[in-house]
Amino acid sequence: MISKKIILTGSFGVGKTSLFNRFIENKFDEKYMTTIGVKVNKKSVFIEGNEVALLLWDIAGEISQDKVPTSYFLGAAGVVYVFDLSRPLTFQNIVSDLTYLKSILPYSVVRVVGNKKDLLTEDQISRLETEFPIKWHALTSAKTGENVEDLFLNLATEMI
């Protein structure tokens, strides 16, 4: 069995814990409870017949990534950078955040994910996409579960 560490990071309130809970336990809670420090859990997936254990680190949100203790990132094979599609404040530092992440994790697979897709219409998403400073990899809704499983499966495939 192969084991890989994945970090869920991004600004606060973007839905990292909701994505974590949706993927690990397939559940969603409307209540918002801020993450203190970090929460770790594991889920195994099968990629082309091989069992891959994904060790997910759900890190407390920070406005910019250089505020997160560096040691949390060490040893991560994958990073999921989450932003909230409905709150521009959560992606205003996206370019500098990704540059920072690449500098400390040059060999990791980084995925940029817009969460809370259920709150926006297709038109609003299209408009946002044209104005967005970079190209995102996936849009998810932890609430409905849309694209969550695929996000982690694709990441696992790329990591191995």
Partner 1 sequence: MKNGQISESVMLDQLRSVLLHDDRADVRRLQNLLDDPAQLSEKISPILEQRLELMRQNFPKEYEMVVDKLIQERLKNSQEQLIEVIYPVLGAMVRKYIEHQFQILKESIEAQIRAMQNRLNFWQKMKMRWAGVSESDLILAGSDVPRVHEIYLVERHSGILLAHAAVQENLEKEAIAGMLTAIKSFVEDAFQRENEELDYISYQNYKILVENYRSFYLAALVEGSVSANERAMLAEKLHAFIFREYYTFNQKQDENVGERLSGLLAETFIQNYEL
Site residues (vs partner 1, CB under 8 A): 3-5, 37-42, 53, 55, 57, 69-72, 74-77
DSSP string, 111-153: EEEEE-GGGS-HHHHHHHHHH-SS--SEE--TTT-TTHHHHHH
Quick one: 29 or 69, whose CB is closer to partner 1? Answer: 69
Task: State in angstroms the smallest separation of the CB of 65 from partner 1.
Answer: 15
Structure tokens at 85: 């599609």
Task: State in angstroms the smallest separation of the CB of 135 from partner 1.
Answer: 27
Structure tokens at 49: 């017949």
Quick one: 15 or 138, whose CB is closer to partner 1? Answer: 15
The answer to whether residues 82 and 12 touch, using CB atoms and an 8 Å cutoff, is: no
Task: State in angstroms the smallest separation of the CB of 158 from partner 1.
Answer: 17
Quick one: 84 or 97, whose CB is closer to partner 1? Answer: 84
Quick one: 3 or 126, whose CB is closer to partner 1? Answer: 3
Task: State in angstroms the smallest separation of the CB of 86 from partner 1.
Answer: 8
Strand-pair category, 78-84 with 2-10: parallel
**How far is it, in rounded angstroms, from Cα 24 to Cα 56?**
9
